[in-house]
Amino acid sequence: MDGEEFAGRVEAVKERLYRAAYLYLGSEADALEAVDEAVYQALRGLKKLRQPEFFETWITRILINECHRELRRRKHLAGEETLPESAGPDEYDALPLREAVRRLPEELRQVVVLRFFAGYTQVETAAALKIPQGTAATRQRRALALLRLELGEEECV
């Protein structure tokens, strides 16, 4: 794959990458920076990509690693994440789904973010997370059940 083809393929997936990064990091600036860094890392490691047909999965995995690096950096700098005591309920009620997703355990949140917010299929999600497809499906079901409970919706059977 040459530089021109790389640029074209990045252009085709940049919106999906941005959505995933934004949902991981919660900040437009951090998401843009994570996507930029992921593209840079992908360009540097382009020779390591053995199967160009898996480009999107490969670059998504690089992005996820970059988002995790940023989250670890934040945690290291700020200690454990807590809600500010001065925050009123209106600040967090504006987007209850976003906050509910952020409170999910990491392994469940990864599946939900990629599957429903970044627009990946279940197969692509499993490949990006390097887990079996059945595991991705199980995590998806578990995450959706927790979200229903948290948001106060009755489970549909």
d(CA 150, CA 144): 10
Q: Is residue 19 part of a domain?
A: yes
How many domains does the chain divide into? 2
pTM: 0.65
102 and 76 inside one domain: no
77 and 1 inside one domain: yes
pLDDT tens, per residue, the chain with 157 residues: 788 889 999 999 999 999 989 888 888 899 999 999 999 999 999 888 888 888 998 999 999 999 989 888 887 776 444 433 333 334 334 467 778 888 889 899 889 888 888 888 888 889 888 899 999 999 999 998 888 888 875 444 3
